[in-house]
Amino acid sequence: MLPDELSLWLTDSKKQSELPVLIGFVAIIALPLLLVFRQIRRQGPDPIGEAKREAHKGMLRAMLVVYAGLAITGATLAAASGSGGGTYVVAWGALLFGGLSLLGQLFSYYFRTKPRLDALAFVSAQSTTAPPLAWTPPRRGRGFWGWVRIVAIGVVVLGIGARAFSALSPDPQPSRVIGQATVPARAKTPTPTNVPRKTPTPMPTVISAASESTRVLTPRSTSTPSPTTQPITVPPGWDQVDNFGSSIGNLYRAGRDEFADRSFEDGQYTITIRKADAIAWDIFGASSGDDVKLRTTIASTDGDGDIVLLIASANNEPIWSFHVSPLSQQWSVARYSVQRDNFFNWVEPRSYAKLGLGPVKTVELWIVDGKPDLLINGQDVVGPTGVQLEKVPEDVHLGYGGWGAGFTIVFDEVAVGRPE
């Protein structure tokens, strides 16, 4: 079985489009080495040629040492973070070092070493009594301070490479965040694949703002113990309709936090997302293996963002987020991966525009016999696309909310019950 990263490169069209860029990286990195190696091979056997050969060998050794240091450091970063970020740091660092090293070595050669060699050759050619040439090739060793200088340059270049990668590298698919956890963002146009896609950002914490105290849903991390969930259960079970009246107002937290503004007025619940690429959501209790549906009735939306319904297993693994974009008329699904410790696209954005559903009035998430389904305005949007959604565990929590900075959702009603 192919590793995840290799499988993505072979099956993902966006990844395949990046191959020429990586090939260009390799070519640019290798070019200084090939140029120096060519200069070593083309020098003659005379003392002048030998001196030039030794000078170019010094260049080659210095470049190989720093390249090796960059590769080792990048591999260490990648292993420590569990992502491919270290690989890109190496690419940028090696690219910068290759260019800077080539310029520096050529400057040193043409303005220091070569003039001395040419002067000695001229003097030797004009002399009738002196030996043909009195030239001592440079020492092979660089000494302690020479190697310290090389290592220092490598460290500086690595830092520059990391900064360059974060500042200049394009992200072909921007990310959205659940609390602080990345989820691949909605594409501009729907794509025909539902191959899971990895994101380069680690998965920290998911925030559920459904009670007076902040509730935290933390996926398992390799460095921390498996956490527990503290859901807000709507008593006495699943057959409940919430019209946001004062009788159950104590279950919700109105006001402002770093993620969203929340308010309750005239029997409506309004969420306005404040933080860029963040989801604000409320959560209900576990289903205990029963068939269940979550129906949200939407009064209005404003801005470009997603209405989000979530399924989280009772032990927080896995987690699915179902996204509906009223503006672009698309739906998609993201899934949390324990192995990758982050979210990735499980179902790429799919258009429902041809169904002629009109403005979004209701968004429903059904779980029947363990299989989820997504309905908009009472109509199934998953079946027409031919997408087969995986089954979910018996005990799950259901949540609802929104994504997208500046996006506002006004909920008229939220109902949790059993499918008809």
Q: Are residues 77 and 149 in the same domain?
A: yes
Which of 275, 242, 241 is CA-nearest to residue 256? 275
Q: Are residues 246 and 161 in the same domain?
A: no
Residue 4 lies in a domain: no
In this structure, what are the phi and psi dihedrals at residue 361, rounded to the nearest 5 degrees?
-110, -35
Q: Are residues 272 and 409 in the same domain?
A: yes
Residue 6 lies in a domain: no
Residue 8 lies in a domain: no
168: CB partners within 8 A, 6+ apart:
92
DSSP 353: G
DSSP 253: -
Q: How many Å separate Cα 6 from the centre of its chain?
A: 16
Q: Are residues 90 and 39 in the same domain?
A: yes
pLDDT score of 127: 52
Q: Are residues 273 and 375 in the same domain?
A: yes
Q: Are residues 365 and 233 in the same domain?
A: yes
Q: Are residues 144 and 186 in the same domain?
A: no
Q: For the domain that residue 222 is a member of, what is the CATH number?
A: 2.60.120
C-alpha–C-alpha distance, residues 409 and 208, integer Å: 17
Q: Are residues 241 and 329 in the same domain?
A: yes
In this structure, what are the phi and psi dihedrals at residue 47, rounded to the nearest 5 degrees?
-55, -40
Q: Are residues 275 and 162 in the same domain?
A: no
Q: What is the largest CA-CA distance in the chain?
A: 112
Q: What is the pLDDT along the chain (420 residues), one digit of tens a residue?
A: 344 444 544 544 444 555 666 666 666 667 777 777 777 777 777 666 777 777 777 777 777 777 776 667 666 665 554 444 455 555 556 556 656 665 666 666 666 666 666 666 655 555 555 444 444 444 444 556 666 666 666 666 666 655 555 544 443 333 334 443 444 444 433 333 333 333 333 333 333 333 333 333 333 333 323 333 333 333 334 567 777 765 444 345 577 778 888 888 888 889 999 887 666 677 766 667 778 889 999 999 999 999 999 888 877 667 888 999 999 999 999 887 777 666 678 899 999 999 999 999 999 999 988 899 999 999 999 999 888 898 888 888 888 888 888 999 999 998 888 887
Q: Are residues 215 and 73 in the same domain?
A: no
Count of structural domains within the chain: 2
Range of the domain at 340: 178-193+204-417
pLDDT score of 365: 93
Q: Are residues 53 and 134 in the same domain?
A: yes
Q: How many CA atoms lie within 13 A of 257 on its CB side?
A: 19
